Structure 1
Protein backbone atom coordinates (compact mmCIF):
# COMPACT_ATOMS: atom_id res chain seq x y z
CA UNK A 1 0.00 0.00 0.00
CA UNK A 2 2.83 2.38 0.88
CA UNK A 3 4.53 1.61 -2.43
CA UNK A 4 1.31 2.35 -4.35
CA UNK A 5 0.87 5.63 -2.50
CA UNK A 6 4.48 6.60 -3.22
CA UNK A 7 4.02 5.78 -6.92
CA UNK A 8 0.75 7.76 -7.07
CA UNK A 9 2.49 10.77 -5.51
CA UNK A 10 5.34 10.51 -8.01
CA UNK A 11 2.93 10.27 -10.93
CA UNK A 12 1.02 13.31 -9.66
CA UNK A 13 4.28 15.26 -9.33
CA UNK A 14 5.33 14.37 -12.89
CA UNK A 15 1.90 15.31 -14.24
CA UNK A 16 2.23 18.71 -12.57
CA UNK A 17 5.69 19.24 -14.06
CA UNK A 18 4.44 18.11 -17.48
CA UNK A 19 1.52 20.55 -17.36
CA UNK A 20 3.77 23.40 -16.23
CA UNK A 21 6.23 22.67 -19.04
CA UNK A 22 3.44 22.67 -21.64
CA UNK A 23 2.11 25.98 -20.34
CA UNK A 24 5.56 27.57 -20.54
CA UNK A 25 5.93 26.74 -24.24
CA UNK A 26 4.86 28.90 -27.17
CA UNK A 27 1.94 27.44 -29.11
CA UNK A 28 4.15 26.25 -31.96
CA UNK A 29 6.62 24.61 -29.56
CA UNK A 30 3.80 22.90 -27.66
CA UNK A 31 2.20 21.62 -30.84
CA UNK A 32 5.53 20.29 -32.17
CA UNK A 33 6.26 18.57 -28.87
CA UNK A 34 2.81 16.98 -28.62
CA UNK A 35 3.07 15.73 -32.19
CA UNK A 36 6.55 14.29 -31.48
CA UNK A 37 5.17 12.15 -28.64
CA UNK A 38 2.14 11.04 -30.62
CA UNK A 39 -0.46 13.31 -29.02
CA UNK A 40 -2.72 15.54 -31.08
CA UNK A 41 -2.35 19.25 -30.30
CA UNK A 42 -5.49 20.72 -28.77
CA UNK A 43 -5.44 23.89 -30.87
CA UNK A 44 -3.27 24.14 -33.94
CA UNK A 45 -4.44 27.63 -34.87
CA UNK A 46 -1.71 30.22 -34.24
CA UNK A 47 -2.49 32.54 -31.33
CA UNK A 48 -2.32 35.62 -33.53
CA UNK A 49 -4.99 34.23 -35.88
CA UNK A 50 -7.17 32.96 -33.01
CA UNK A 51 -7.11 36.39 -31.34
CA UNK A 52 -7.95 38.15 -34.60
CA UNK A 53 -10.91 35.81 -35.16
CA UNK A 54 -12.07 36.19 -31.55
CA UNK A 55 -12.19 39.95 -31.93
CA UNK A 56 -13.62 39.87 -35.48
CA UNK A 57 -16.50 37.58 -34.47
CA UNK A 58 -17.24 39.41 -31.21
CA UNK A 59 -20.68 40.93 -31.73
CA UNK A 60 -21.14 42.17 -28.17
CA UNK A 61 -20.93 45.85 -27.38
CA UNK A 62 -18.27 46.76 -24.84
CA UNK A 63 -18.01 49.55 -22.31
CA UNK A 64 -14.68 50.64 -23.77
CA UNK A 65 -13.06 50.70 -27.18
CA UNK A 66 -10.66 47.93 -28.11
CA UNK A 67 -7.49 50.02 -28.34
CA UNK A 68 -5.99 53.07 -26.72
CA UNK A 69 -3.79 54.56 -24.01
CA UNK A 70 -4.37 54.05 -20.28
CA UNK A 71 -3.07 56.67 -17.87
CA UNK A 72 -1.70 55.75 -14.42
CA UNK A 73 -4.88 57.19 -12.86
CA UNK A 74 -7.02 54.75 -14.90
CA UNK A 75 -8.24 57.26 -17.51
CA UNK A 76 -8.60 55.48 -20.85
CA UNK A 77 -8.12 57.31 -24.14
CA UNK A 78 -9.69 55.51 -27.10
CA UNK A 79 -7.40 55.34 -30.13
CA UNK A 80 -8.11 53.77 -33.50
CA UNK A 81 -6.04 50.72 -34.42
CA UNK A 82 -2.65 51.74 -35.79
CA UNK A 83 -2.93 55.35 -34.61
CA UNK A 84 -1.34 55.03 -31.15
CA UNK A 85 1.95 56.75 -32.08
CA UNK A 86 0.21 59.68 -33.76
CA UNK A 87 -2.14 60.01 -30.77
CA UNK A 88 0.83 60.02 -28.37
CA UNK A 89 2.60 62.65 -30.51
CA UNK A 90 -0.51 64.84 -30.53
CA UNK A 91 -1.08 64.38 -26.79
CA UNK A 92 2.49 65.36 -25.95
CA UNK A 93 2.50 68.39 -28.24
CA UNK A 94 -0.72 69.55 -26.59
CA UNK A 95 0.51 68.98 -23.01
CA UNK A 96 4.19 70.00 -23.29
CA UNK A 97 5.74 73.36 -23.94
CA UNK A 98 7.96 73.73 -27.00
CA UNK A 99 11.02 73.81 -24.72
CA UNK A 100 9.94 70.61 -22.92
CA UNK A 101 9.37 68.95 -26.27
CA UNK A 102 12.78 69.95 -27.61
CA UNK A 103 14.63 69.04 -24.39
CA UNK A 104 12.99 65.64 -24.03
CA UNK A 105 15.17 62.66 -24.78
CA UNK A 106 13.07 59.77 -25.95
CA UNK A 107 12.97 57.41 -28.89
CA UNK A 108 9.33 58.11 -29.63
CA UNK A 109 6.29 59.53 -27.90
CA UNK A 110 5.00 56.07 -26.99
CA UNK A 111 8.20 55.33 -25.10
CA UNK A 112 7.88 58.68 -23.36
CA UNK A 113 4.36 57.85 -22.13
CA UNK A 114 5.16 54.29 -21.03
CA UNK A 115 8.22 55.55 -19.13
CA UNK A 116 5.78 57.72 -17.19
CA UNK A 117 3.54 54.80 -16.29
CA UNK A 118 1.08 54.79 -19.18
CA UNK A 119 -0.11 51.48 -20.68
CA UNK A 120 -0.74 50.98 -24.38
CA UNK A 121 -3.60 48.64 -25.30
CA UNK A 122 -2.88 47.47 -28.83
CA UNK A 123 -2.46 44.41 -31.01
CA UNK A 124 -0.57 44.46 -34.31
CA UNK A 125 -2.80 41.65 -35.61
CA UNK A 126 -6.02 43.49 -34.66
CA UNK A 127 -6.86 40.85 -32.05
CA UNK A 128 -7.80 41.34 -28.40
CA UNK A 129 -5.56 44.10 -27.07
CA UNK A 130 -2.26 43.37 -25.38
CA UNK A 131 -1.22 45.75 -22.59
CA UNK A 132 2.26 47.16 -23.15
CA UNK A 133 3.96 49.01 -20.32
CA UNK A 134 7.43 49.91 -19.17
CA UNK A 135 8.81 46.59 -17.87
CA UNK A 136 10.36 48.37 -14.88
CA UNK A 137 6.98 49.62 -13.69
CA UNK A 138 4.02 47.88 -12.10
CA UNK A 139 0.41 48.56 -12.97
CA UNK A 140 -1.26 51.08 -10.71
CA UNK A 141 -4.35 49.90 -8.83
CA UNK A 142 -6.47 52.06 -11.16
CA UNK A 143 -4.87 50.44 -14.22
CA UNK A 144 -5.37 46.95 -12.79
CA UNK A 145 -9.04 47.68 -12.11
CA UNK A 146 -9.55 49.03 -15.63
CA UNK A 147 -7.73 46.12 -17.30
CA UNK A 148 -9.57 43.55 -15.19
CA UNK A 149 -12.92 44.98 -16.31
CA UNK A 150 -11.68 45.31 -19.89
CA UNK A 151 -10.79 41.61 -20.12
CA UNK A 152 -13.82 40.36 -18.18
CA UNK A 153 -16.01 42.36 -20.58
CA UNK A 154 -14.37 40.45 -23.45
CA UNK A 155 -14.71 37.00 -21.84
CA UNK A 156 -10.96 36.81 -21.17
CA UNK A 157 -11.03 35.85 -17.49
CA UNK A 158 -7.56 34.25 -17.59
CA UNK A 159 -6.03 37.51 -18.77
CA UNK A 160 -8.07 39.48 -16.25
CA UNK A 161 -6.78 37.32 -13.41
CA UNK A 162 -3.17 37.55 -14.66
CA UNK A 163 -3.42 41.34 -14.49
CA UNK A 164 -4.60 41.21 -10.89
CA UNK A 165 -1.82 38.78 -9.91
CA UNK A 166 0.91 41.01 -11.30
Structure 2
Protein backbone atom coordinates (compact mmCIF):
# COMPACT_ATOMS: atom_id res chain seq x y z
CA UNK A 1 0.00 0.00 0.00
CA UNK A 2 1.18 3.49 -0.79
CA UNK A 3 1.09 6.37 1.67
CA UNK A 4 -2.13 8.36 1.24
CA UNK A 5 -2.56 11.89 2.53
CA UNK A 6 -5.72 13.71 3.50
CA UNK A 7 -8.35 14.46 6.13
CA UNK A 8 -10.08 11.89 8.34
CA UNK A 9 -13.47 12.73 9.83
CA UNK A 10 -14.53 11.65 13.33
CA UNK A 11 -16.84 9.14 11.61
CA UNK A 12 -13.90 7.55 9.77
CA UNK A 13 -14.54 9.08 6.34
CA UNK A 14 -11.24 9.70 4.54
CA UNK A 15 -10.83 12.60 2.12
CA UNK A 16 -7.67 11.93 0.15
CA UNK A 17 -5.77 14.92 -1.19
CA UNK A 18 -2.56 15.60 -3.05
CA UNK A 19 0.56 16.75 -1.24
CA UNK A 20 0.34 20.43 -0.35
CA UNK A 21 -3.40 20.66 -1.10
CA UNK A 22 -4.84 19.98 2.37
CA UNK A 23 -5.96 23.60 2.86
CA UNK A 24 -7.99 23.55 -0.35
CA UNK A 25 -9.45 20.16 0.57
CA UNK A 26 -10.38 21.47 4.04
CA UNK A 27 -12.43 24.23 2.38
CA UNK A 28 -14.14 21.66 0.14
CA UNK A 29 -15.01 19.51 3.15
CA UNK A 30 -16.40 22.53 5.01
CA UNK A 31 -18.62 23.24 2.00
CA UNK A 32 -19.71 19.60 1.81
CA UNK A 33 -20.66 19.39 5.49
CA UNK A 34 -22.39 22.77 5.53
CA UNK A 35 -19.91 24.69 7.69
CA UNK A 36 -18.26 26.88 5.08
CA UNK A 37 -20.40 29.95 5.80
CA UNK A 38 -19.60 29.83 9.53
CA UNK A 39 -15.90 29.33 8.70
CA UNK A 40 -15.81 32.20 6.21
CA UNK A 41 -17.54 34.48 8.73
CA UNK A 42 -14.51 34.38 11.02
CA UNK A 43 -11.03 35.68 10.26
CA UNK A 44 -8.86 34.00 12.88
CA UNK A 45 -8.51 30.39 11.71
CA UNK A 46 -7.55 28.85 8.40
CA UNK A 47 -9.80 26.16 6.93
CA UNK A 48 -7.56 23.36 8.23
CA UNK A 49 -7.53 24.67 11.79
CA UNK A 50 -11.28 25.25 11.67
CA UNK A 51 -11.83 21.68 10.46
CA UNK A 52 -9.39 20.27 13.04
CA UNK A 53 -11.35 22.00 15.78
CA UNK A 54 -14.36 19.98 14.71
CA UNK A 55 -12.65 16.64 15.24
CA UNK A 56 -10.98 16.05 11.86
CA UNK A 57 -7.38 14.91 11.71
CA UNK A 58 -4.82 15.43 9.00
CA UNK A 59 -2.54 12.74 7.59
CA UNK A 60 0.27 14.70 5.97
CA UNK A 61 3.93 14.63 5.11
CA UNK A 62 5.09 18.25 5.23
CA UNK A 63 8.75 17.54 4.53
CA UNK A 64 8.13 14.53 2.28
CA UNK A 65 10.23 12.57 4.78
CA UNK A 66 7.89 11.53 7.59
CA UNK A 67 4.16 10.88 7.65
CA UNK A 68 2.41 12.79 10.43
CA UNK A 69 -0.98 12.52 12.10
CA UNK A 70 -2.09 15.95 13.32
CA UNK A 71 -5.23 16.48 15.40
CA UNK A 72 -6.54 18.96 17.95
CA UNK A 73 -9.34 16.85 19.42
CA UNK A 74 -9.22 13.38 20.98
CA UNK A 75 -9.42 10.63 18.36
CA UNK A 76 -12.75 8.91 17.84
CA UNK A 77 -12.98 5.13 17.81
CA UNK A 78 -13.57 5.22 14.03
CA UNK A 79 -10.41 7.29 13.54
CA UNK A 80 -8.39 4.88 15.68
CA UNK A 81 -9.70 1.93 13.64
CA UNK A 82 -8.84 3.67 10.37
CA UNK A 83 -5.34 4.60 11.55
CA UNK A 84 -4.67 1.08 12.82
CA UNK A 85 -5.56 -0.38 9.41
CA UNK A 86 -3.76 2.39 7.55
CA UNK A 87 -0.43 1.91 9.32
CA UNK A 88 -0.79 -1.88 9.41
CA UNK A 89 -1.27 -1.94 5.63
CA UNK A 90 1.84 0.24 5.24
CA UNK A 91 3.80 -2.43 7.14
CA UNK A 92 4.25 -0.16 10.16
CA UNK A 93 2.79 -2.54 12.75
CA UNK A 94 4.36 -0.85 15.79
CA UNK A 95 2.82 2.46 14.82
CA UNK A 96 -0.50 0.75 14.04
CA UNK A 97 -0.64 -0.74 17.53
CA UNK A 98 -0.60 2.74 19.08
CA UNK A 99 -4.19 3.09 17.86
CA UNK A 100 -5.51 -0.06 19.53
CA UNK A 101 -7.66 0.43 22.61
TM-score, normalised relative to structure 1: 0.54
CA RMSD of aligned residues (A): 2.0
> 3-state SS of the aligned residue for 2:99?
helix
Bigger Cα Rg: 1
Shift of residue 101, structure 1, vs aligned partner: 3.6
Q: Which runs of 4+ in 1 moved over 6 A?
A: none
Note if 1:73 corresponds to 2:15: no
Note if 1:116 corresponds to 2:54: yes
Q: Which has the higher helix share?
A: 1
Residue in structure 1 matched with residue 98 of structure 2 by the alignment: 162
Residue in structure 2 matched with residue 48 of structure 1 by the alignment: none
TM-score, normalised relative to structure 2: 0.84
Residue in structure 2 matched with residue 141 of structure 1 by the alignment: 77
Conserved? CA contact 1:67–1:122, under 8 Å = yes
Shift of residue 75, structure 1, vs aligned partner: 0.4
Note if 1:86 corresponds to 2:24: yes
Gaps of at least 5 residues in structure 1 are 1-60
**More relative contact order, 1 or 2 (CA 8 Å, 6+ apart):** 2
Gaps of at least 5 residues in structure 2 are none
> 3-state SS of the aligned residue for 2:45?
coil
